[in-house]
């Protein structure tokens, strides 16, 4: 218990200056310490560190899951309310779904926020998952639009970012602001993480956690 408390204290102090997970120091073929795989649906979730050219990345590599299956990996040592999150993402493959995104204010597998970018649909959407039901949220000034369309993403690297301040969320793709969402469903602190859906094989790198 003392060891865990020390880890949490160190993370809390680190958040004052920001944390970058570049996954270089972790063992290939394994999940980094402090990260927990979570899934919902009738499939198999497999997260691991692997090499992508010369870089180490965190990847979801299971490619046989049905359309209703969600793949999550949660950092169970960081619980925050207001935060600035960004990650580099590459949608490698997937027939039903591709890409993935960021999780914040995670309470349990049935309740959290998620922002995802999908190269199959070439759009970015912010959802809440409440009691296991995923719902896209309306954009400020635009209403329910199912997020926004973006230029063709293909399977290259893109940077997805969200700033979280109380009930206001601001979304960016490749350093360009896309939209804002206001929602108060989950107002308490929660864990952060990464997300993919269905058969999406996705790589993540440079997961940056900054105070907001």
**Is 47 in contact with 207 (CB distance < 8 Å)?**
no
Residue 55 in contact with residue 175, Cβ under 8 Å?
A: no
The pLDDT value given to residue 169 = 98
> Which of the 8 DSSP states describes residue 143?
B
pLDDT score at 18: 87
How high is the pLDDT of residue 15? 55
Residue 28 · residue 50 · CB < 8 Å: yes
Q: Which domain holds residue 59?
A: 2-211
Q: According to the model, what pLDDT value does residue 16 have?
A: 55
Q: Is 8 helix (H, G, I), strand (E, B) or coil?
A: helix
* Model pTM score: 0.92
Number of domains forming the structure of the chain: 1
pLDDT one digit per residue (tens) for the chain, 212 residues: 554 444 444 455 455 568 999 999 999 999 999 999 999 999 999 999 999 998 999 999 999 999 999 999 999 999 999 999 999 999 999 999 999 999 999 999 999 999 999 999 999 999 999 999 999 999 999 999 999 999 999 999 999 999 999 999 999 999 999 999 999 999 999 999 999 999 999 999 999 999 88
- Per residue in 125-155, pLDDT tens? 999 999 999 999 999 999 999 999 999 999 9
CA distance 20 to 209: 6
Least Cα distance to 203 among 27, 23, 41 occurs for 23
CATH of the domain at 10: 2.60.120.560
Q: Is 166 exposed, middle or buried (0-12, 13-18, 19+ CB in 10 A)?
A: exposed
Note the pLDDT of residue 201. 98
Reference 127, options 75, 70, 73; nearest CA is 70
Q: Give me the residues paired with residue 89 across strands.
A: 158, 204
Residues in the chain: 212
So what's the pLDDT on residue 8?
47
Task: Output the pLDDT for position 6.
Answer: 46
């Amino acid at each position: 218990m003392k060891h865990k408390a020390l880890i949490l204290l160190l993370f809390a102090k680190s958040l004052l200056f920001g944390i970058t997970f570049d996954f270089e120091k972790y063992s290939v073929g394994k999940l980094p310490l402090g990260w927990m795989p979570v899934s919902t649906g009738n499939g198999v979730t497999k997260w691991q560190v692997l090499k992508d050219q010369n870089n180490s990345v965190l990847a979801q590599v299971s490619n046989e899951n049905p359309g209703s299956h969600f793949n999550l990996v949660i950092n169970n040592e960081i619980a925050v309310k207001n935060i600035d999150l960004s990650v580099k993402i590459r949608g490698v493959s997937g027939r039903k779904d591709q890409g993935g995104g960021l999780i914040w204010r995670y309470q349990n597998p049935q309740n959290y926020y998620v922002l995802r970018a999908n190269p199959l649909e070439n759009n970015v959407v912010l959802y809440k998952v409440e009691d296991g039901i995923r719902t896209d949220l309306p954009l400020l000034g635009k209403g329910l639009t199912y997020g926004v369309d973006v230029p063709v993403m293909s399977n290259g690297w893109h940077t997805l970012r969200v700033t979280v301040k109380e009930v206001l969320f601001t979304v960016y793709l490749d350093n360009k602001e896309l939209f804002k969402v206001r929602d108060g469903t989950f107002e308490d602190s929660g864990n952060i993480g990464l997300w993919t859906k269905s058969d999406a094989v996705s790589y993540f790198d440079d997961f940056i956690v900054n105070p907001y």
